[in-house]
């Protein structure tokens, strides 16, 4: 047999050398140490003989590439070109034949010398089991809107956070990404359902209820399955916590009689994908001259700053984007071990990830350790799933750094040996009024959180009597964050990042959440009836305790507050509890008719006694039409199900308490300086925010499962929405008031389409397509107020929440060069009343498209996603095009700005410090369409055939390359149309200088032993 040339690379002797190369080159030696400890190349011994055979499909065509494994051992092979195989076995061994999209076959070896097998195509995905929270059911019994994520597809995208990879993968779930290393993307299930606070869904990892924040601590490689409970009837069992939907994740477990080791390695480079074209020094000098000369008045002749005439200064021309942006390396290593016996199973995972930012001090690093196992003893099952992590996350004001990079003076030299750290600095006679600091000065400031934590559960299940079991589960989430901000002084630069001494801020906090869950599960299958029920109670107590201390004027080289002349300490110490009772029943008659009903009662400590408890019911039903006699005989129709439901969900946040701020100071000479002041407004009436949701859907499967279509229509109503009502500033209250205000709806359609174009032994092709259309509309606000204005947005009945709001440009006045705005009220003057709605930040829809194919060992996939119909407030452009600031501007400003002599038709106002008409105010000229299509991921891989790997004792080996964010088609003029909101809905679609968009290329391999 002729081996391809590269087969030699992985000969038994050499693969260790290969790994050793990596070992030497990486920080993963610890993982390998463990690997070597385990003696993985131990050879099985025993009474063995050789058997052989041929694997065919249903139509008697031979199947090459089928995985054949002796269960419980590492010994295995892969069928050859003609479907033939041979393998060493002992009597009583179990042979496992597996092949993608075919049913796995198990055959016990007796005395045969030859075993020919015929494999069947896995006809229906509906046999899948779906985890729905507090239990799982067969997919065919699902009556709510539940999306099952293809985890394998997603794991192809290198990411620190699985939510990032979820973008475009499933209908109804919009992901708005953040390029910043370690930052969480925004996850919106069925639209932006809340005005205030976290719009992200509840995340349940192995039964542990947490937030999307926990996804940044989870190693994506550990994930076994992931589903999204989108509608209320599915999510209602999580009641008070599920108003924004639920993502359920289960992590890997070992399989019986099968010991596997997998090692994945990936490395890549990411770089800034898109830049602004800023002025060079000559252009900026021209701009600056106009800026100052045009600002003169009769009594004040304003001369341009001296530097604009200074040949020496003008000779310096720094492209700060070139200087500041660097290529960030990505490294990701994962090692996992899994296996199991008759009564136990285990999974162990180790992960290391390092994602460097596109500038210095923006690196994200994470170590993951996971152990999942379960044991069975008679009627008792016990187990645990534990994730321990350590991570270092950059906390630098990453958003402000890019702004500084764009607007800093180009005539400032990069280096100047006379200054501290040898950096050029914005000294006024070099940079005039542009006092932005040298962007490289940020390199001397570190700002990181070291997070150490664990998230785990221990459970026990006991069969009480027939069909009835009891499960008790204790979940613990522990997070210790040590935040350290360390600044070195920056000599004589005068902008806001200046620090005048060595300074440190140290914050430490431990957040602990303990969740006890106890419930009974009842399962009954009797004749045509199938009942699946649960009832129980849960209690959660979360505490967060921490301290903050800071110091300045530190001794150089020290990083503790006490070496400085100043330090001050403060702390946090808070607690929150939630108590719930819950029950659910699924009933299925003849696999044709299904109903599900659930109820949950929740009490939350942050509401006053009279408003503390909320009830959250749901009901849904399904009808498997294809099981009816009149459809039973249609060949092409595999499955047709119609389902519908209604449910209510809740959300609690805020507080009813009236507290004082005791961090106030007034510096009396006696040192008696501490003071107190009101902090907030009490609201005894604060109560549960409620989401009521109707859902109707259909699942269709035709052509023996080759084509599946799923579609849903939903109406989601958010009521009594909790927001922090912005108070007039003249109330003097620092915090806004918590209140239940208004209602809104998110109605929409979801559509998922998956088609297997080709499915032969050698060649498979699949496409998947999904889209979602959502309409957001505010129904009402409070009785006293019909509008809510914030951040240049308006929230008012009949329109989408947080619609862009502002003036309409009339013209640039041809005499003064000032911007004029439309007098919409027609009262002869332009005032606040002349603003109108300028666009919606919510997309009309979003979609994802996936193509994947494999031919022999090669596989390729391309993934596109996009949104349409949203508007972006381009605040970055508003800043960079403002003609009234002594800052570097977009190069186009010189061409587009009004000039009384050379350009009276300019579209931008006159370049002058004088800005008499608030020219840059929020107006239609900053609103742009945010539609885009993005080739988000493209990947090419090669899986080595098993017969080549056999000699290396490898079970599998795949190499691949991929590119992320390769092409974006958009008319949006900013750097990236995919803009994550910051804290609340009022920053949705607000592009105000974000971490620049990045593109990455990666190479990786996956080895199985």
Applying the rule CB under 8 A, the residues between 804 and 833 that interact with other proteins are: 831-832
Interface positions, 547-576, toward other proteins (CB under 8 A): 552-553, 565-568, 571-576
CB of 473 to other proteins, least distance (A): 10
CB of 536 to other proteins, least distance (A): 9
Binding of residue 914 to other proteins (CB under 8 A) = yes
Q: Which is nearer to other proteins, 572 or 967 (CB)?
A: 572
Q: Spell out, one character per residue from 303 to 342, where the chain touches other proteins: x when CB under 8 A holds, - when not.
A: ---x------------------------------------
Distance from C-alpha of 493 to C-alpha of 421, rounded to nearest angstrom? 12
- Measuring CA to CA, which residue among 708, 936, 947, 950 is closest to residue 179? 936
CB of 488 to other proteins, least distance (A): 14
Interface positions, 87-126, toward other proteins (CB under 8 A): none
CB 247 within 8 A of CB 192: no
Q: Which is nearer to other proteins, 767 or 789 (CB)?
A: 789
Binding of residue 610 to other proteins (CB under 8 A) = no
CB of 617 to other proteins, least distance (A): 20
Written as six digits, the tokens of 190 are 């069925």
Q: Which is nearer to other proteins, 333 or 986 (CB)?
A: 986
- Measuring CA to CA, which residue among 602, 691, 606, 608 is closest to residue 654? 606
Q: Which is nearer to other proteins, 61 or 782 (CB)?
A: 782
Q: Which is nearer to other proteins, 428 or 617 (CB)?
A: 428
Q: Spell out, one character per residue from 529 to 548, where the chain touches other proteins: x when CB under 8 A holds, - when not.
A: --------xxx-x-------
Written as six digits, the tokens of 850 are 């996936």
Q: Which is nearer to other proteins, 419 or 850 (CB)?
A: 419
Distance from C-alpha of 649 to C-alpha of 844, rounded to nearest angstrom? 24
Place of tokens 């959660």: 540
Distance from C-alpha of 74 to C-alpha of 818, rounded to nearest angstrom? 77
Distance from C-alpha of 392 to C-alpha of 367, rounded to nearest angstrom? 9
CB of 63 to other proteins, least distance (A): 46
Q: Look at residue 402 and give its three-state secondary structure.
A: helix
- The 3-class SS string of 210-279 reads ECHHHHHHCCHHHEEEEEEECCHHHHHHHHHHCCCCEEEEEECCCCCCCCEEEEEEEEEEEEECCCCCEC
Q: Which is nearer to other proteins, 233 or 580 (CB)?
A: 580
CB of 831 to other proteins, least distance (A): 8
Using CB under 8 A, pick the residue from 496, 524, 757, 967 that binds other proteins.
496
CB of 458 to other proteins, least distance (A): 11
Binding of residue 524 to other proteins (CB under 8 A) = no
CB 720 within 8 A of CB 744: no
Q: Which is nearer to other proteins, 287 or 427 (CB)?
A: 427
Using CB under 8 A, pick the residue from 90, 518, 610, 760 that binds other proteins.
518
Q: Which is nearer to other proteins, 572 or 634 (CB)?
A: 572
> Which stretch in 201-209, 428-436, 621-629, 902-910 sits in contact with other proteins by CB under 8 A?
428-436
Distance from C-alpha of 363 to C-alpha of 355, rounded to nearest angstrom? 6
CB of 309 to other proteins, least distance (A): 10
CB of 252 to other proteins, least distance (A): 27
Distance from C-alpha of 995 to C-alpha of 181, rounded to nearest angstrom? 9
CB of 528 to other proteins, least distance (A): 33
Interface positions, 883-912, toward other proteins (CB under 8 A): 884-885
CB of 783 to other proteins, least distance (A): 12
- Measuring CA to CA, which residue among 434, 448, 379 is closest to residue 406? 434
Strand-pair category, 67-70 with 129-131:
unpaired
| Region for 133 from its dihedrals, namely left if φ exceeds 0, alpha if ψ lies in -120 to 50, beta otherwise | left
Interface positions, 735-754, toward other proteins (CB under 8 A): 737
Q: Which is nearer to other proteins, 328 or 426 (CB)?
A: 426
Interface positions, 676-695, toward other proteins (CB under 8 A): 676-679, 681-682
Interface positions, 434-473, toward other proteins (CB under 8 A): 435, 460, 462, 464, 470, 472
Interface positions, 206-225, toward other proteins (CB under 8 A): none
| Residues 6+ positions from 657 with CB-CB distance below 8 Å | 682
- Measuring CA to CA, which residue among 14, 7, 16, 21 is closest to residue 35? 16
Interface positions, 709-728, toward other proteins (CB under 8 A): 726-728
How many Cβ atoms are within 10 Å of 13's Cβ, its own excluded? 9
CB of 433 to other proteins, least distance (A): 7
CB 363 within 8 A of CB 394: yes
CB 741 within 8 A of CB 776: no
In sequence order, what are the beta bridge partners of 868? Answer: 845
Q: Which is nearer to other proteins, 541 or 958 (CB)?
A: 541
Q: Which is nearer to other proteins, 364 or 821 (CB)?
A: 821
Distance from C-alpha of 75 to C-alpha of 90, rounded to nearest angstrom? 12
Q: Which is nearer to other proteins, 492 or 747 (CB)?
A: 492
Q: Which is nearer to other proteins, 527 or 728 (CB)?
A: 728
DSSP 294-344: TT-BTTB-PPPPGGGG-HHHHT----HHHHH--PEEEEEEEEEEEEE-SSE
CB of 24 to other proteins, least distance (A): 45
Using CB under 8 A, pick the residue from 88, 94, 124, 499 that binds other proteins.
499
How far out from the chain centre does Cα 291 lie?
A: 43
Interface positions, 337-396, toward other proteins (CB under 8 A): 377-380
- The 3-class SS string of 713-774 reads EEEEEEECCEEEECCCHHHCCCCCEEEECCEEEEEEEEEEEEEEEEECCCEEEEEEEEEEEE
- Label residue 358 exposed, middle or buried (CB < 10 Å: 0-12, 13-18, 19+): buried
> Which stretch in 41-49, 209-217, 296-304, 970-978 sits in contact with other proteins by CB under 8 A?
296-304
Using CB under 8 A, pick the residue from 113, 297, 902, 983 that binds other proteins.
297
> Which stretch in 21-29, 695-703, 780-788, 990-998 sits in contact with other proteins by CB under 8 A?
780-788
Query: Interhelix angle for 29-37 vs 12-25, to 10°?
Result: 150
Interface positions, 647-676, toward other proteins (CB under 8 A): 657-670, 672-676
Written as six digits, the tokens of 614 are 């909320």
> Which stretch in 178-186, 354-362, 386-394, 606-614 sits in contact with other proteins by CB under 8 A?
606-614
Q: Which is nearer to other proteins, 166 or 790 (CB)?
A: 790
CB of 816 to other proteins, least distance (A): 11
How far out from the chain centre does Cα 955 lie?
A: 33
Q: Which is nearer to other proteins, 617 or 678 (CB)?
A: 678
Written as six digits, the tokens of 251 are 């992590």
Q: Which is nearer to other proteins, 227 or 538 (CB)?
A: 538
Strand runs labelled E in 760-815: 763-780, 788-790, 793-795, 803-806, 809-812
How far out from the chain centre does Cα 977 lie?
A: 16
Distance from C-alpha of 157 to C-alpha of 935, rounded to nearest angstrom? 12
Q: How many residues bind other proteins (CB under 8 A)?
A: 107
Q: Which is nearer to other proteins, 591 or 663 (CB)?
A: 663
């Amino acid at each position: 047999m002729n081996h391809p040339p590269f087969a030699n690379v992985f000969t038994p002797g050499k693969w260790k050398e290969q790994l050793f190369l990596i070992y030497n080159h990486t920080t993963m030696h610890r993982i390998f140490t463990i690997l070597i400890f385990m003696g993985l190349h131990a050879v099985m011994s025993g009474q063995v003989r050789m058997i052989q055979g041929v694997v065919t499909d249903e139509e008697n065509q031979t199947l090459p590439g089928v995985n054949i494994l002796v269960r419980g051992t590492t010994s295995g092979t892969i069928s050859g070109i003609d479907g033939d195989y041979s393998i060493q076995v002992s009597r009583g061994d179990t042979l496992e034949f597996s092949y993608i999209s075919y049913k796995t076959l198990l055959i016990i070896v007796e005395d045969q010398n030859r075993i020919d097998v015929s494999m069947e195509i896995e006809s229906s995905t509906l046999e899948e089991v779906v985890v729905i929270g507090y239990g799982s059911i067969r997919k065919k019994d699902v009556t709510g809107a539940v999306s099952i994520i293809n985890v394998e597809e997603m794991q192809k995208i290198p990411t620190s956070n699985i939510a990032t990879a979820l973008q475009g993968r499933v209908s109804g779930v919009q992901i708005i990404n953040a390029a910043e290393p370690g930052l969480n993307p925004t996850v919106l299930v069925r639209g932006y359902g809340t005005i205030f606070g976290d719009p992200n869904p509840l995340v349940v990892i192995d039964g542990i209820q947490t937030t999307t924040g926990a996804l940044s601590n989870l190693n994506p490689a550990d994930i076994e399955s992931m589903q999204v409970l989108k509608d209320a009837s599915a999510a209602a069992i999580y009641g008070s916590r599920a108003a924004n939907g639920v993502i359920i994740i289960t992590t890997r477990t070992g399989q019986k009689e099968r010991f596997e080791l997998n090692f994945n390695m990936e490395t890549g480079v990411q770089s800034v994908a898109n830049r602004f074209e800023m002025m060079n020094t000559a252009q900026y000098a021209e701009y600056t001259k106009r800026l100052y000369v045009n600002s003169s008045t009769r009594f004040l002749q304003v001369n341009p700053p001296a530097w604009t005439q200074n040949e020496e200064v003008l000779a310096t021309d720094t492209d700060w984007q070139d200087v500041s942006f660097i290529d960030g390396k990505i490294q990701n290593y994962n090692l996992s071990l899994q296996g199991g016996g008759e009564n136990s199973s285990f999974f162990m995972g180790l992960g290391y990830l390092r994602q460097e930012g596109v500038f210095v001090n923006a690196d994200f690093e994470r170590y993951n350790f996971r152990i999942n196992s379960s044991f069975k003893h008679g009627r008792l099952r016990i187990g645990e799933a534990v994730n321990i992590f350590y991570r270092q996350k950059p906390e630098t004001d990453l958003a402000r750094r890019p702004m500084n990079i764009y607007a800093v003076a180009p005539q400032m030299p990069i280096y100047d040996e006379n200054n501290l750290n040898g950096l050029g600095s914005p000294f006024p006679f070099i940079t005039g009024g542009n006092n932005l600091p040298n962007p490289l000065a940020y390199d001397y400031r570190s700002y990181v959180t070291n997070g150490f934590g664990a998230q785990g559960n221990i459970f026990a299940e006991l069969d009480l009597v027939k069909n009835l079991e009891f499960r008790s589960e204790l979940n613990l989430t522990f997070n210790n964050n040590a935040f350290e901000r360390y600044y070195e002084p920056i000599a004589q630069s005068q902008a806001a990042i200046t620090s005048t001494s060595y300074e440190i801020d140290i914050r430490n906090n431990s957040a602990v959440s303990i969740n006890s869950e106890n419930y009974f599960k009842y399962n009954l299958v009797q004749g045509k009836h199938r009942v699946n029920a649960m009832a129980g109670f849960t209690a959660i107590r979360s505490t967060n305790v921490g301290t903050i201390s800071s110091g300045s004027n530190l001794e150089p080289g020290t990083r503790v507050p006490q070496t400085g002349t100043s330090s001050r300490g403060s702390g946090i110490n808070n607690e929150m509890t939630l108590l719930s009772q819950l029950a659910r029943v699924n009933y299925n008659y003849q696999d044709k008719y299904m109903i599900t009903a659930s109820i949950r009662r929740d009490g939350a400590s942050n509401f006053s006694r009279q408003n503390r408890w909320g009830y959250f019911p749901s009901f849904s039903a399904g009808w498997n039409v294809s099981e009816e006699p009149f459809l039973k005989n249609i060949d092409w129709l595999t499955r047709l199900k119609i389902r519908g439901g209604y449910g209510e969900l809740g959300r609690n946040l805020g507080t009813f308490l009236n507290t004082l701020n005791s961090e106030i100071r007034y510096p009396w000479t006696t040192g008696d300086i501490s003071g107190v002041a009101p902090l907030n407004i009490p609201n005894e009436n604060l109560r549960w925010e409620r989401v009521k949701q109707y859902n109707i859907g259909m699942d269709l499967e035709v052509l023996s499962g080759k084509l599946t279509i799923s579609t849903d229509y939903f109406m989601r109503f958010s009521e009594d929405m909790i927001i922090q009502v912005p108070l007039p500033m003249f109330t003097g209250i620092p915090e806004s008031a918590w209140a239940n205000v208004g209602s809104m709806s998110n109605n929409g359609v979801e559509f998922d389409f998956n088609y297997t174009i080709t499915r032969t032994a050698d060649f498979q092709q699949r496409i998947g397509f999904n889209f979602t259309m959502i309409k957001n509309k505010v129904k009402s606000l409070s009785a006293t107020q019909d509008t809510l204005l914030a951040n240049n947005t308006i929230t008012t009945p009949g329109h989408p929440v947080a619609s862009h709001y502002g003036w309409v440009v009339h013209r640039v006045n041809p005499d003064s060069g000032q911007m004029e705005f439309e007098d919409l009220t027609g009262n002869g003057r332009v005032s606040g009343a002349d603003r109108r709605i300028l666009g919606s930040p919510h997309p009309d829809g979003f979609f994802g498209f996936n193509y994947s194919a494999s031919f022999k060992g090669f596989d390729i996939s391309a993934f596109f996603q996009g949104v349409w119909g949203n508007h972006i407030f381009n605040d970055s452009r508003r800043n960079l095009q403002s003609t009234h600031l002594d800052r570097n501007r977009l190069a186009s400003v010189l061409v587009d700005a009004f000039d009384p002599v050379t350009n009276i038709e300019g579209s931008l106002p006159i370049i002058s410090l004088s800005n008499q008409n608030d020219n840059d105010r929020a107006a239609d000229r900053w609103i742009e369409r945010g539609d885009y299509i993005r080739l988000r991921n493209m990947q090419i891989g090669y899986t080595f055939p098993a017969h080549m790997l056999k000699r290396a004792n490898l079970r599998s080996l795949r190499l691949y390359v991929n590119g992320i964010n390769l092409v974006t088609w958009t008319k949006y003029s900013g750097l990236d149309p995919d803009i994550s909101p910051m804290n609340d809905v009022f920053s949705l679609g607000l592009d105000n200088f974000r971490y620049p968009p990045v593109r990455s290329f990666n190479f990786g391999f996956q080895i199985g032993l």
